[in-house]
Amino acid sequence: MKSPKVKTQKNLSALIAIALAVVTLFSAGAVNSTSTETVKSKFVEADVIAQIEQMIIEEEAIFEDVVLFEEAESEVKVFDENNELLGEGLTAGNKTLRALVNQAELVSELGSTKYYRIIK
């Protein structure tokens, strides 16, 4: 889905992961010791970075399939690039319409109706 809230959540997760990785790498680079503890800590840091990357991948997969609660309860209309209506109605219980909303970008909101467009 390409709603602003999901993009913000994805960007925030990615920034936190990158910041943690940078801090970890700089702190590991500042220590120039070859002791056993340093080698162990480098393995631990590499493991933490791998876990963060895996969490980001899993979050992205979850966000692709999730429709936000407010979208599930609202009236939506989905258009294609040529402004042809592809679907309309409530997304709650309508898997086809929900899939269209997940592919589309929010264009406008008028009253209780949200208008989406699929841009390829």
| Residues 74 and 43 reside in one and the same domain | no
Distance, CA of 105 to CA of 120 (rounded, Å) = 11
| Residues 51 and 73 reside in one and the same domain | no
pLDDT band at 95 (very low <50, low <70, confident <90, very high): confident
Q: How many domains does the chain have?
A: 2
Q: What pTM was computed for the model?
A: 0.42
| Residues 48 and 95 reside in one and the same domain | no
Q: How does 76-88 read in b/e, with b if 16+ C-beta sit within 10 Å?
A: bbbbeeeeeebbb
Beta bridge partners of 78: 87, 116
| Residues 39 and 89 reside in one and the same domain | no
- Residue 70 scores a pLDDT above 50: no
| Residues spanned by the domain of 73 | 69-117
| Residues 75 and 60 reside in one and the same domain | no
| Residues 11 and 54 reside in one and the same domain | yes
Average pLDDT, stretch 45-56?
A: 86
- For the chain, report the end-to-end CA distance as a whole number of angstroms: 14
pLDDT in tens, 12-43: 788 788 888 878 877 766 655 556 667 777 88
| Residues 106 and 55 reside in one and the same domain | no
Of 65, 82, 101, the residue that ends a domain is 65
Beta strand 75-79 pairing with 85-90: antiparallel
